[in-house]
Amino acid sequence: MRCLVTGATGFVGSNLVRSLLAAGHEVLATGAPGSTTRYLDGLDLEVRLVDLLDPDQLPSLVKGRDWVFHVAGDTSTWNRLAGRRRRVNVDAAALLADASVTAGVSRFVHTGTVDVHGYNRDGGPLPERAGERSLCGIGYDYADTKAEGEAAVRARIADGLDVVVVYPGFMIGPYDHTLQLGRIIRQMQAGETVFAPPGTASFCDVREVAEGMVTAALRGRTGHGYNLTGHNRSYHDVFTRIAEIVGARKRPIRLPAPVLRGYGALAELASRVTNKPPEMDSGLAKYLSAPQSSDWSKARDELGYRPGDVDRAIRDAAAWYNTHMPTGR
């Protein structure tokens, strides 16, 4: 198949293009202008850096494409970036879906987030539906904009767009050059004290998520969503395992939810003075305190999805950081 992958220069996209190429598909990889393409070097694909908010650039991207994988997104949470987040997560998704309708794309795989499902108060695993509590409307604007972006894409099903949605969990693995988890690994390797949020998440190997996305394009049902999630564990549990695997001298310290929320509020207040994104904010603190848990049985039964082994993903991520982004570079 002739495929377009947006966000191909990022963590998930870099793994997805490799899965597509390994399966024999043709890939056009896109990223935002200014994005590094070094982690796509040497791959048999075309790379274009394109502003997805420019509707004049989209027709040439989707023309002749069988599958479109919309992976690009803004994962920031700082309230001062709310406008940018909305443009990227909502407006760009709608524009790309419109262009795909016009071009006659045969399948549109939209990358959502498991965050849009919220959580159950008792931490019970959630299938592809809303839980008892929402992560939208709590100041964690990433979830709000991803929910709206998904709704915008789904609205194009009425126009004939064949849409499948995937909901990744907390991914671990290679090509995380933005150091989403790498920062924790680096701090532990350096002997620094690391604090673990009090919540839980659904951890998975990013490479298995990428394989699940390819299978969703092949076998997913139109209009359906699939949790590409995995092992429901506390942040403290996974951070402790990271410390053991990388040989850290210190183990992580679990932060109580009130302390994390207080820190988020103070950091957010300080950012108004420094005009720099805070390490933590109020909405993110609430999110990281939630007992998120995901049921991925639908993806297992219909797509043959497996989340992979967390220990292996941690080891491979640490090895990738050491090789491609050694400390001091």
Q: Structure tokens of 68?
A: 């479109």
pTM, rounded to two decimals: 0.96
Is 118 contained in some domain?
A: yes
> In angstroms, rounded to a whole number, what is the distance separating the alpha carbons of residues 40 and 289?
35
Find tokens 């070094």 and name the residue.
38
Judge contact between 214 and 164, C-beta under 8 A: no
For CA atoms 57, 97, 5, 168, give the dihedral sign: positive
Is 251 contained in some domain?
A: no
* Domain span at 9: 2-176+202-230+293-309
Cβ partners under 8 Å of residue 20, min gap 6: 3, 5, 27, 214
> In angstroms, rounded to a whole number, what is the distance separating the alpha carbons of residues 60 and 57?
6
Is 82 contained in some domain?
A: yes
Judge contact between 213 and 111, C-beta under 8 A: yes
273: helix, strand or coil = helix
CATH number (domain holding residue 146) = 3.40.50.720
Question: Can you give the pLDDT at residue 329?
Answer: 42
Question: Can you give the pLDDT at residue 178?
Answer: 85
Question: Can you give the pLDDT at residue 179?
Answer: 83
Is 214 contained in some domain?
A: yes
Strand partners, 67: 3, 107
First to last CA, the chain: 38
Helix (H) or strand (E) holding 31: strand 26-31
> In angstroms, rounded to a whole number, what is the distance separating the alpha carbons of residues 276 and 278?
6
Domain count, the chain: 1
Is 78 contained in some domain?
A: yes
Is 272 contained in some domain?
A: no
User: What stretches in the chain show pLDDT beneath 70?
Assistant: 328-329
- The tens digit of pLDDT for each residue in 225-269 reads 999 999 999 999 999 999 999 999 999 999 999 999 999 999 999
Is 273 contained in some domain?
A: no
Is 315 contained in some domain?
A: no
